[in-house]
Amino acid sequence: MADTPTPKAICSSSCRTGDAGSSVPAGLQIGALKLANPVVLAPMAGVTDLPLRELCVGLGAGMAVAEMLTSDPKLMTSRKSSLRRCHNAQSGLRSVQIVGSEAQQLAEAARLNADDGADIIDINMGCPAKKVCKKAAGSALLADERRVEEILKAVVAAVDVPVTLKIRTGVSPQQRNGVAIAKIAEDAGIQMLTVHGRTRADRFKGEAEYCTIAAIVDAVGIPVLANGDITTPTKALAVLEQTGAAGVMIGRAALGRPWLPGAIAQALSGASAIQPSHAERFLQMRTHLTALHDFYGDFMGVRIARKHVGWFFDAIEADLPSTFLNWKRHFNALVDTEAQQALLQTLGSHCQNNELAA
C-alpha cells in the first residue's frame, strides 16, 4: 500500500492491564458464526445500503452491517425500512441493527428480523444523532444502565441468533461508563461488543480515545471491536496493539473508499495491503454506480448516487494533483443514469492515461 503518515499517539501501553503486544486476530467468532477476518463495515444510516455492503464484502470486508432499522412497528413496513432490510448472498452474513428505547418493542423487532433471515441482531446504543437521542434511544441509553440491562436481556431472550451491541465509551468525558455497560452486556448474553472511542457528548468532535476500549477488552470475555478514526491499515494495527481488541469496525473512513476494509484485513493477515490504482478505483465506483441504479431505479438511483460519487471524489482528490471540485459539480448536475456512467468512464480512462486535468 502507498505510504501513509505515522498515526498520532493513540494511548500509552500502560492503558492496558492485560498482556501487551498481543497477536493480530486471524478471524472473528460471534457465537457459532465465524468471520473470515475481523474487519467489519459499520452500520451507517443512509450509507451502508445493500449495494455498498455487497461491494465492501466483495472487496474483502469480513462483514458489513446494514443501516439501522427502527423498532417502531408503525414504521417497520415503510419504503425506507423495506429497502434497508434487503439482503443477498453477495453481501455476506446478514447483520441487522435495530434502534429504539423500549425493551419489548426491540425484542419484537429482533424476532421479526430473525424470522426474516437475519444471522445476527445488533443493537444500537452508540448513535449520537439528536433525532435518535431525543427519543431516549441510541447513545442516550448509556445514561440508564438499568434500562440497558432490561433491553439486552429482552432481545437476547427473543431470538436464537447471536445478539451484538454497539456503544460509545460513555455518556460524557466525565462519565465514561463503558466498562460498566460492557459487563452488563456480557452478563445479558451479548456475543460481541463494538465500542466507538468517543462519548455521547463528544458526538464526532475531537479525536477518538482508545484507553477506555482497552479497559473494556480487559473487563470482559466476549469479543470487542474497536471503532473510531481508524483510517488506514497502519492505524488499525496500532489500535489493535494498544487495545487488544478482537477486530476493528470501519465507518466514515470507508466513505468513497469501499476497498479500505479489505485492505485493512490484508494488513492484519500479514500480507501487504495493496491500495487499488486510481483506474481500479474508478472501475469500483462504476460497479457501485450500476448497483445503485439497479437497486433504487433510475429516478432515485441517480440522486442517491450523487452522495456516493461525491465521497469517491473527495477520497481520490487527495491522491491526485488535480482538483475534482468541478467534476463533482458536473456529476451532481447530471439527471440520467447513462450520463453518470459516461462521465465516470471518461474520467477513469483519462486517469489511467494520466491525462486528467484540473
- Catalytically active residues are 127
CA pseudo-torsion sign 38, 43, 47, 53:
positive
Cβ atoms of 207 and 229 within 8 Å: the answer is yes
Which DSSP letter does residue 24 get? Answer: P
Instruction: Kindly give the residue spans of alpha helices, DSSP state H, lying in the chain.
Output: 50-58, 79-84, 103-115, 130-133, 145-158, 178-188, 211-219, 233-243, 260-268, 278-317, 325-333, 337-352
Torsion of CA 98, 101, 102, 107, to 10 degrees: 20
How many CB atoms are located within 10 Å of the residue 179 CB? 19
Neighbours of 171 (CB within 10 A): 20
Closest CA to 242 of 13, 8, 7, 19: 13
